[in-house]
Amino acid sequence: MNVDTLRILLVFGLLGLVVARNLRGFVHFVWPGAIRFSVNAAPGLEHPAVRLLGRELQELGFAPAGRVTQRRPLSRPQENTVFFDEAHGDWAVAFPVGREAWLYFLSEPRRGCFVLTADHAFPRVESGDFLTGGLPGASPPEVHAAHRRQVERMARGGTEASSRDLGAFVDAAQRFFSRGPGRANLRRQSVRGFLFASAALVWGAMTLWQLLFR
């Protein structure tokens, strides 16, 4: 095996490694709507940070509703603990990120009109059907207060009664994240992987073209 052949194998090996390490981000960016939510009735240990956050949510008037599993291609399932505020009809979702727990509030005052407020970075959207945004570093009471203001703003256009069980949350979350502004957030999280994988694929294609037609 000569030096040129070794060099070519090394180049394609490195490009393959880059693609493999960033394939998940590439797939998530290209197909952001490929996300599925399902009710998880199986018993399991709750993340300590999620448990602590749940206590704060209960002080705000939320009651535990159950657990929901979020699945995306090439990713580990994400376990979400869902809480519900019967008085206002708001959902609160806590999920582990490393040793921490992140939180977002989700409401659908009327069919197809969503309000989401997170305690972490989330795309800001203000339209007739969506009011979303994030308040990184804010406390749960602060995020909840901001969320309630946005819900009241959205509710000026009218409200509709709807089912409030865990299945209703799964349906609402599925529609929000697969077709609503949640798609933009999923893409934002995946842009780095998409760029690296795309660059490696383009470089590999150009190298192969040069080898075949030089």
pLDDT band at 157 (very low <50, low <70, confident <90, very high): low
Radius of gyration of the chain from its Cα atoms, rounded to whole angstroms: 21
Residue 41 in this model has a pLDDT that exceeds 90: no
Residue 201 burial class via C-beta count within 10 angstroms: exposed 0-12, middle 13-18, buried 19 and up: middle
Residue 52 in this model has a pLDDT that exceeds 90: yes
- Say how far apart CA 146 and CA 127 lie, in whole Å: 17
> What per-residue confidence (pLDDT) applies to 181?
66
Residue 162 in this model has a pLDDT that exceeds 70: no
- Say how far apart CA 35 and CA 186 lie, in whole Å: 9
Give the CA angle between residues 18, 98, 176 to the nearest 5°. 80
Question: Mind giving me the DSSP string for 152-184?
Answer: HHHHTT-------SHHHHHHHHHHHHHHSTHHH
pLDDT tens digits for 66-96?
999 998 877 788 899 999 999 899 999 999 9
Which run of H or of E encompasses 37?
strand 36-40
CA distances from 95 to 47, 61, 66, 142, 177 (A): 8, 19, 12, 18, 16
pTM higher than 0.85, yes or no?
no
pLDDT tens digits for 19-30?
777 777 776 677
Mean pLDDT of 39-47: 78
> What per-residue confidence (pLDDT) applies to 111?
87
> What per-residue confidence (pLDDT) applies to 33?
67
> What per-residue confidence (pLDDT) applies to 81?
95
**Number of Cα atoms under 13 Å in the Cβ half of residue 40:** 18
Domain extent listing, the chain: 1-30+189-214, 34-180
- Say how far apart CA 31 and CA 29 lie, in whole Å: 6
pLDDT band at 35 (very low <50, low <70, confident <90, very high): confident
Residue 118 in this model has a pLDDT that exceeds 70: yes
**Number of Cα atoms under 13 Å in the Cβ half of residue 121:** 6
Mean pLDDT of 36-45: 79
Per the CB < 8 A criterion, the answer to whether 21 and 13 are in contact is: no
pLDDT exceeding 90 applies to what percent of the chain? 39
pLDDT exceeding 70 applies to what percent of the chain? 87
